[in-house]
Amino acid sequence: MGEIYGIDLGTTNSCISVLKEGKPHTIPVDGSGIVPSVVSFDGKEILVGRKAWNRAAAFPEESIRSVKRLMGTVEKLTLGKNNYDPEDISAMILRYLCDEARDLEGCQVERVVITVPAYFSDAQRRATVEAGKRAGLTVERIINEPTAAALFYDHVSVVAEGAVDAKENAGEDIHALVYDLGGGTFDVSVLRIGEIIEVLASTGDTYLGGDDFDKRLVVRVLQQIKDTEGLDLTDHVPALARLSLVAERAKIALSNKALVRIQEAYIPAPKGKSCSVSMEFSREEFETLTKDLVDRTFVSVEKAMEEANLTPDKIDKVLLVGGMTRMPVISARLEQIFGAARLPAVDPDLSVANGAAIQGGIISGENCEQILVDVTPHTLSLETLSHSDDLLYECIPIIPRNTQIPVTRARTFLTTAYHQKAAELKVYQGESRDPKENTLIGKTMLELASAEAHCPILVEYSYDLNGMVRLVAEQKGYSRKTEVRIDSRNPQLFASQELEELEDEEENGEKGENRTAVNFVTRRARALIEKMEEGERRQALFNLLESYGKALREESDDVDRVEDQLLSFIEE
Which positions touch ligand AMP (CB under 6 A)?
Answer: 10-13, 182-183, 210, 248, 251-252, 255, 322-324, 326-327
**For ligand AMP, the closer CB: 64 or 308:** 64
**For ligand AMP, the closer CB: 204 or 549:** 204
How far apart, in whole angstroms, are the C-alpha atoms of residue 115 and residue 263? Answer: 37
Per-position DSSP letters for 329-345, written without gaps between them: HHHHHHHHHH-GGG---
Question: Smallest distance from the beta carbon of 538 to ligand AMP, in angstroms?
Answer: 46
CA distances (Å), origin 333, targets 179, 297, 351, 399? 12, 11, 21, 34
Question: Smallest distance from the beta carbon of 184 to ligand AMP, in angstroms?
Answer: 7
Among the options 122, 145, 316, 474, which is catalytic? 145
The CA dihedral of 529, 531, 534, 540, to the nearest 10 degrees, is -30
Question: Smallest distance from the beta carbon of 264 to ligand AMP, in angstroms?
Answer: 17
Q: Is residue 12 helix, strand or coil?
A: coil
**For ligand AMP, the closer CB: 300 or 429:** 300
Question: Smallest distance from the beta carbon of 96 to ligand AMP, in angstroms?
Answer: 16
Q: Is residue 266 helix, strand or coil?
A: strand
CB 522 within 8 A of CB 549: yes
Question: Smallest distance from the beta carbon of 320 to ligand AMP, in angstroms?
Answer: 10
Q: Is residue 140 helix, strand or coil?
A: strand
Which phi and psi angles does 421 have, rounded to 5°?
A: -85, -25
Please confirm, yes or no, whether 68 is among the known catalytic residues.
Answer: yes
Question: Smallest distance from the beta carbon of 257 to ligand AMP, in angstroms?
Answer: 11
**How do 393-399 and 259-268 pair as beta strands?**
unpaired
Closest CA to 424 of 351, 514, 486, 510: 514
How far apart, in whole angstroms, are the C-alpha atoms of residue 146 and residue 244? Answer: 28
CB-closest chain residue to ligand AMP:
210
How far apart, in whole angstroms, are the C-alpha atoms of residue 131 and residue 17? Answer: 18
**For ligand AMP, the closer CB: 37 or 415:** 37
Question: Smallest distance from the beta carbon of 6 to ligand AMP, in angstroms?
Answer: 15
Cα-based angle 140, 142, 146 (whole degrees, multiple of 5): 135
Please confirm, yes or no, whether 145 is among the known catalytic residues.
Answer: yes
Closest CA to 284 of 311, 260, 310, 318: 260
**For ligand AMP, the closer CB: 156 or 324:** 324
**For ligand AMP, the closer CB: 312 or 328:** 328
Among the options 140, 180, 198, 383, which is catalytic? 180
Question: Smallest distance from the beta carbon of 325 to ligand AMP, in angstroms?
Answer: 8
Closest CA to 318 of 149, 506, 442, 89: 149
Among the options 68, 251, 317, 443, which is catalytic? 68
Q: Is residue 523 helix, strand or coil?
A: helix
Helix axes 291-308, 210-229, angle to 10 degrees: 170
**For ligand AMP, the closer CB: 33 or 210:** 210
Question: Smallest distance from the beta carbon of 210 to ligand AMP, in angstroms?
Answer: 2
**In sequence order, which residues have a C-beta less than 8 Å from that of residue 479 and are 6 or more positions away?**
none
Q: Tell me the CA end-to-end span of the chain in Å, nearest whole number.
A: 68
- Identity of residue 556: S
Please confirm, yes or no, whether 271 is among the known catalytic residues.
Answer: no
CA distances (Å), origin 246, targets 28, 128, 292? 26, 31, 22
Is the link from the previous residue into 456 a cis peptide, with omega within 30 of 0?
A: no
- Ramachandran quadrant class, 344 (left: phi over 0; alpha: psi -120 to 50; beta: rest): beta
**For ligand AMP, the closer CB: 210 or 491:** 210
Q: Is residue 512 helix, strand or coil?
A: coil
Question: Smallest distance from the beta carbon of 347 to ligand AMP, in angstroms?
Answer: 11
Among the options 8, 168, 383, 474, which is catalytic? 8
**For ligand AMP, the closer CB: 215 or 538:** 215
- Identity of residue 128: T
Secondary-structure breakdown of the chain: helix, strand, coil percentages, each rounded to the nearest 5: 40, 30, 30
**For ligand AMP, the closer CB: 11 or 416:** 11
Which phi and psi angles does 264 have, rounded to 5°?
A: -150, 125
Per-position DSSP letters for 204-219, written without gaps between them: EETT-SHHHHHHHHHH
CB 28 within 8 A of CB 101: no
HSE on the CB side for 188, CA within 13 Å? Answer: 23
Looking at the annotation, which residues are catalytic?
8, 68, 145, 180
